[in-house]
Structure formats: structure tokens, C-alpha cells
Structure 1
Amino acid sequence: MDKIRIVLVNTSHPGNIGGAARAMKNMGLAHLYLVEPEDFPSGEARARASGADDVLEGAIVVASLDEALAGCSLVMGTSARDRRIPLSLLDPREAAEKAFTQLDDNIEGDIALVFGREHSGLTNEELQRCQFHIHIPSNPEFSSLNLAAAVQVLVYELRMAQLQRAGEPTKMRKFEASSMLNEQPASADEMERYFEHLEQVLIEVGFHDPNKPRHLMARLRRLYGRAGVSKLEMNILRGILTETQRSLRGENPTRSNDDV
């Protein structure tokens, strides 16, 4: 990601610069180039960056697109409008793949993703400086994205491509606060004891007639089999059954659900 730069051309609203900086830091990018921004540095940009101050402080302000692209061997420009000049068209995911293919091949030079003005995007002349044209497949009836939102879409795809290449997970697993042991699946013996307990409670509440089973327990076994019950979840289920039986006998509850 250190060889990828985000280039914003002639940005008119400083808040969009801050929003772009925040999106970049969220996804692990740091190199921001600003071509003739109308208002920068700006307190509004800093406010919208929401902690990505280091990206703003490290931003390189230049007077031309050529300066921003110096040292780049792959340049991809974004646009929501059709152009008369044909360019190789990529969606954001394909653009991320293109970027990391170049990185994998150890090709010298940086990679630039270029974003145009809020009101008119990149000019045809500026797009000619790009080898590829990136189009975000948004709603055709309302296709123009906010500048910072467009940056977020592309840097997200870059982040996903990076994680996949590194073999790192793209989603986090949620762990219960109790212990790793409780995240282990319930054993076959534990499941069998649970089904015996469940059937007994269903009989006691009048929901299940063992003389007319109608495949109820077989269907419940399939249901719980699909769920993949953990040890912690088994404790919760057994606790519910136990408290149901206590309630049927008119006894006071032994614990609340806050204990599980």
C-alpha cells in the first residue's frame, strides 16, 4: 500500500479532502497528493479527517497533474461520465486487482488513483494521462458520488485485495467474553443429553406427545445440527430447559439470563 497514492485534482470543498484522508487511513493508505486545491490547509478538512491528521499533514500540494504523477508507472482515473475518447474500463474491484498485479510483478514506479473535481470530474485531457478509466457502477439514475465517498469505495477494494493476498481474514470472528473453551462445538454426548432433556420438557409443557411424535424430535435434531451449537450455547439452552421445569413446578428461578 506504500506504493499507492491518491490524487485529488482541484478539489473545491476542503471537507472532501478531510473525508478522503479519513477513508485512506481507515484502509491503510497514507500518500495523498492535492493538485491545486481551492482551500487547503483548512480547519474543515482537519475536522472531517477525524483523526487522520497525519495523512493531511503529509499531503503533497502540487501545481499540476503531471507533478502529482511523477514517478508513477500505473495511473487510473475515475469518472462517472461517458467519454468520447475510449479508455480501458475497470470497476473498482478490477482496479484493485490491476494495482496489486503490478505490485506482485515488482514493476518500478508508484500507482496513482486520480479523482477529479466535485462538479465536473476529470477533463478529457486529464483522463488521457491515465492508462485506465475506473467507473463505480452506481445507480444510473443518480450516478455521481460524493468525492470522499468515491475515494472510500476504491480504497476499500484496495484493502480487500491486500488482505486476500496476504492470506489475512477479511472479517472478524466475535468471541464471547467467557472463555475460548466455550466456543468449542458441543460434543455428541452433550447434544444427546440435550435432546433427551428437550423432549422431556416438551412433554411436560404439552407440546409433544410421545405416542404421536409426528417426527418432531427428528426435525428438531436436524435444526440444531444445522445451527452448530457451541458449548456455551448448550449451557444456555440447558439452563432455559431447567428453569422452564422449575417454573412448571412453581419454584422460584435460580438465576437470570444475565448470568450466561
Structure 2
Amino acid sequence: MDSNPSTPLTPDAFGRVHIVLVRPSHPGNIGAAARAMKTMGFARLVLVAPKALPDAQAEAMASGATDVLAAAETVATLPAALAGVTLALALTSRRRDLATAPLWAREGAAELARLAVTGSEVALVFGNETTGLSNEELAFCNRWAMIPANPAYASLNLAAAVQVLCYELRLGIEAAQGAVSPAPTFSPVGMPATHEEIEGLLAQIEGMAVASGFLDPERPGRLMLRLRRLFARAGLEREEVNILRGLLASFQRPTGKRYHQGA
């Protein structure tokens, strides 16, 4: 079905959106997802450990979107798929323990759209058709959202879920573009931290916690999961991550100086 968009596509904003499919098991769903993306103006498809690709069925289901399928990036892990991303929004249909506060799909898409329009790389993350996203995979994402489907039967086909979110994201980008003219120029200060920058901070904290004896690597519990949730709520900026990493590093190499407040 052809459509007549009310406003022209803006490749920069649409091109900053990564549609990530984690461990997709059916090649036909990958092709159908590519088609759903293209109808809404998106083309950056990232596949995490797909079961089968390339595949003739994927190409058949992609129909006129075989270019999106051919350009898809394939990676081994979700962290690799989120490299350079400022905000990753995961889609799931069930509440998870220690997860950040949930959003409805429209709210989440609007948040992604605002960042994409103002220069940030963002990602929509979808799980496996049968098992969805694992708790560990969900923890790599800053936020998570649900589609307000029929509570008695909320199971959507993967490509259908991609279509719904891409539609909401398109509307969000168009609305955000109307509110941002011209797009601001960012300096390094105030830029949101990327996924790998936050992961670097978490790795540094974990390493120091183990070295100090605070964290038992044999029985880590849920410390790192709680820290992920804390940082997701905080919305760290790049400069803030640098400050925290520098502060942590200073604890490992004392200068001998002592500072105190006095009258």
C-alpha cells in the first residue's frame, strides 16, 4: 500500500535509528521486518546472532526492501550492536525484576525520536520470536517499553512489532523536527554517554570492586545489574562518565595529598 507522508523524509534523523533483532530464529521474520522498516523510512537493520541468513525466504518476505536486508549488519552480541548508541529501547511484553521504569511504545518512540533529531544514535531492540529478550540482554538497554495490546492475547509477530514501533518513531521524528529548527550544534559537554562508554565505566567499577574485596566474583549477586539500572535512570552524560572514571582511577594511585574543609 502506497502512502503520502505529510512531511519529507530527513535521512539524517532516520539514519540514526538502529533496528536491532536479537537472535531471530525465522528468516522470513527478518525479511518481513526489513519491509516494515522501509515502509516507515528506516534502513539500518542490525542482526544479533541470526539463526539463518542469507536465506531465500528472507528475501521473498522482504519484497521491495531487499536493499535493507542486503545492507543489514550482523554481529555476535547485543553490546556490539549497541556500539555508539546513546539510548537503546527494548521491547518486551512482561515486567522484569530490577528493570527500569516501563514506557508505553509511543512514549519510548518519542524519546528516541527527540535524540535522533538532535544528533544521537539510538536503537530499538527486539528479542527472539519465542523467548524474547533475556534479563541479561534487557539490562544492556537503557529503557524498555510495551505495546498496549490486548491483555488477554498480547503476543505480536516480530515483524508486526517492528512495524508498530517504526510507525510511532516516524511520527515522533516528524513531531520533533517541527520543534527543532535549526538542529542545535553540540559541544562535547552535555552529550549523552554512549553504550560503550557506560559499559567501560561499569567494567572499571566491577574490576575495582573485585580487587578491593567488595565484590566476590564467585558470588557476584545482582550488584552490577543494580548499577546498570541506576545508570539507566540517571541518563549519564559523556563528561559525567569521564569524571567518574577519573575519580575511580585516582583511588588506585593516591597522590599523597589530603584535602579537608576548615574554618
Residue 47 of structure 2 aligns with which residue?
34
Report deviation, 1:104: 4.2
Deviation at 1:105, TM superposition (A): 4.0
Counterpart of 1:185 in structure 2 is none
Question: 1:147 — aligned with what?
Answer: 158
Aligned mates of 2:74, 2:35 — CA distance in 1: 17
Name the structure 1 match of 2:126. 115
CA contact (8 A) 1:7 1:114 kept: yes
TM-superposed CA distance for 1:44, in Å, is 0.5
SS at match of 2:86: strand
- List aligned pairs for 1:100-139, cutoff 5 A: 100-106=113-119, 108=120, 110-139=121-150
Deviation at 1:89? 1.1
Distance 2:117 2:44 in 1: 20
CA distance in 1, matches of 2:118, 2:43: 22
Please say if 1:54 is aligned against 2:67: yes
Pairing 1:75–2:125 present? no
TM-score normalised over the length of structure 2: 0.61
> 1:155: Cα distance to partner?
0.1
Q: 1:72 aligns to what SS in structure 2?
A: coil
* Amino acid of the structure 1 residue aligned with 2:149: S
* 1:22 aligned partner: 35
- Hey, what's the Cα distance between the residues in 2 that align with 1:2 and 1:166? 14
Q: Is 1:161–2:161 an aligned residue pair?
A: no
For the 8 Å contact 2:99–2:139, the answer to whether it is kept is: no
Which secondary structure state, in structure 1, belongs to the residue aligned with residue 155 of structure 2?
A: coil
**Bigger relative CO (Cα 8 Å, ≥ 6 apart):** 2
Q: Which one-letter code corresponds to 1:77 in the other structure?
A: A
Within-5 A mapping of 1:144-223: 144-167=155-178
Q: CA deviation at 1:87?
A: 1.4
AA aligned opposite 1:112: A
Partner Cα separation in structure 2 for residue 48 and residue 83 of structure 1: 32
Percentage of identical aligned residues: 50
Tell me how far apart the structure 2 counterparts of residues 21 and 100 of structure 1 sit (CA, whole Å). 19
Alignment-mate amino acid for residue 91 of structure 2? T
Which deviations, in whole Å up to 9, do the C-alpha atoms of 1:38-93 show, x marking residues without a partner? 01111101111111011000000111111111111111111012211231211111
Alpha-carbon distance in structure 1 between the residues aligned to 2:104 and 2:93 = 11
Distance in 1 between the 2:69 and 2:118 partners? 30
* Change in 2 beyond 3 A, CA 1:149/1:159: same
Question: Per-residue displacement from partner, 1:198-250 (whole Å, max 9, x unpaired)?
Answer: xxxxxxxxxxxxxxxxxxxxxxxxxxxxxxxxxxxxxxxxxxxxxxxxxxxxx
| 2:165 counterpart letter in structure 1 | L
Considering only aligned residues, what root-mean-square deviation do their CA atoms show, in Å?
1.2
Corresponding residue for residue 259 of structure 2: none
CA contact (8 A) 1:6 1:113 kept: yes
- 1 CA distance for matches of 2:23 and 2:54? 13
Normalised by the length of structure 1, the TM-score is 0.61
**One-letter amino acid matched to 1:163:** E
1:103, distance to aligned residue in structure 2 (A)? 3.0
Match of 1:91 in 2: 104
Name the structure 2 match of 1:235.
Answer: none
CA contact (8 A) 1:85 1:124 kept: no
Name the aligned partner's letter for residue 13 of structure 1. H
Q: Secondary structure at the match of 1:137?
A: coil
**Partner Cα separation in structure 2 for residue 22 and residue 137 of structure 1:** 23
Query: Highest Rg: 1 or 2?
Result: 1
